[in-house]
Amino acid sequence: MLHLRVLTVLTDNEDGLLSHLGGHSLTTLTDHPVKRLFALLLLSALAAGCQCMPCRSQFAGPFGKAVLCPPQFDHFYCRYIDDFRSKSAARRTARESLRCLRREGITCDFREGFENAFEDVSTGSRGQIPSQPPPPYWNMCARSPDGHARVEQWYAGYRVGIDLALAHYGDHNRVHPAGMECPAANYPQIMPTQIGEPILPAEPTPVAQDFVVPQLMEQEPKGVASLERSRPIR
- pLDDT for 187: 44
For every one of its 234 residues, what pLDDT tens digit does the chain have, with 9 covering 90 and above?
444 444 444 444 444 444 444 444 444 544 577 777 777 777 665 554 444 444 545 545 555 555 555 555 566 778 888 888 889 999 999 999 888 877 777 889 999 999 999 999 998 888 889 999 999 999 998 899 999 999 999 999 999 999 999 988 877 777 777 765 554 445 444 444 444 555 555 666 666 666 555 565 555 555 555 555 555 555
User: Strand locations in the chain, DSSP E?
Assistant: 58-60, 66-68
- pLDDT for 213: 57
How far, in Å, CA of 85 to CA of 123, rounded?
A: 10
DSSP letter assigned to residue 139: S
- In this structure, the answer to whether residues 33 and 107 fall within a common structural domain is no
Angle between helices 108-122 and 79-101 (to 10 degrees): 130
Number of domains in the chain: 2
- pLDDT for 67: 55
Q: What is the pTM of this model?
A: 0.48
How far, in Å, CA of 84 to CA of 91, rounded?
A: 11
Domain that holds residue 35: 2-55
- In this structure, the answer to whether residues 159 and 83 fall within a common structural domain is yes
- In this structure, the answer to whether residues 155 and 116 fall within a common structural domain is yes
Assign 58 to helix, strand or coil: strand
How far, in Å, CA of 111 to CA of 117, rounded?
A: 10
- In this structure, the answer to whether residues 136 and 84 fall within a common structural domain is yes
69 DSSP β-pair partners: none
User: Does residue 222 sit within a domain?
Assistant: no
